[in-house]
Structures are given as C-alpha cells and as structure tokens.
C-alpha cells in the first residue's frame, strides 16, 4: 500500500499550478505554441499561421496584414478571427 504521508499530498499536481510553471518544468513538458487558421475579414480566405510567427503574415487573396510579430506571440489584426488547430 502506498503511503501518502501526513500532509495528504496527492501524487498528481494541481492543473492550475502546472499552468503557472515554465513549459519545461511541468510534469509532462510540452510546447505552448500552436498553429491556427486565421480568417481574413475582407475576402474570408483561411490562412494557417504559427502562434509565435516572427514575420508579418499577409493574406494571399487581398494582401491585407493578418498578424504582426511581437516579442513572443504574434498579434492578430483587429477583425481577424482564428481557430486553434
């Protein structure tokens, strides 16, 4: 039988505590970046964009800017909708 101890700590960490940790310090390391489908507000074409894109992403149909890079995650242009893949 497994003894948990006097503090009553569970072997599984709390999900909110895991979310605050660095991506490599969690129980199961995983990236926090993702790909997303971004819909252009002008021509409604869908473009796949990386969440931490380091270049300006332009719509292939109407040449409007879909997202701009920042220091971390890319900032979507106002009016663009996205869906995480």
With H, G, I as helix, E, B as strand and everything else as coil, classify residue 29.
coil
> What pTM was estimated for this model as a whole?
0.73
**HSE-up of residue 8 (Cα within 13 Å, Cβ side):** 0
Neighbours of 66 (CB within 10 A): 23
Domain-located, residue 78: yes
Q: Which residue has the tokens 């002008």?
A: 42
**Which pLDDT value is given to residue 1?**
46
Residue-number span of the structural domain to which 70 is assigned? 33-84
Task: Give the total number of structural domains in the chain.
Answer: 1
What pLDDT digit, counting tens, does each position of 39-72 carry?
A: 999 999 999 999 999 999 999 999 999 999 999 9
Phi, psi (rounded to 5 degrees) for 15: -60, -35
Q: Is residue 77, in this structure, part of any structural domain at all?
A: yes
Which tokens sit at 26? 């969690």
Q: State how far the Cα of 59 lies from the Cα of 78, in Å rounded to an integer.
A: 14
CATH number at residue 60: 2.20.25.100
């Amino acid at each position: 039988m497994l003894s948990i101890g006097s503090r009553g700590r569970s072997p599984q960490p709390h999900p909110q505590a895991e979310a605050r940790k660095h991506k490599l310090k969690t129980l199961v390391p995983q990236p926090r970046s993702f790909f997303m489908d971004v819909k252009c507000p002008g021509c409604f074409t869908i473009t796949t964009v990386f969440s931490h894109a380091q270049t300006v992403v332009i719509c292939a149909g109407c040449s409007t800017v879909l997202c701009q890079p920042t220091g971390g995650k890319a900032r979507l242009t106002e009016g663009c909708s996205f869906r995480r893949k």
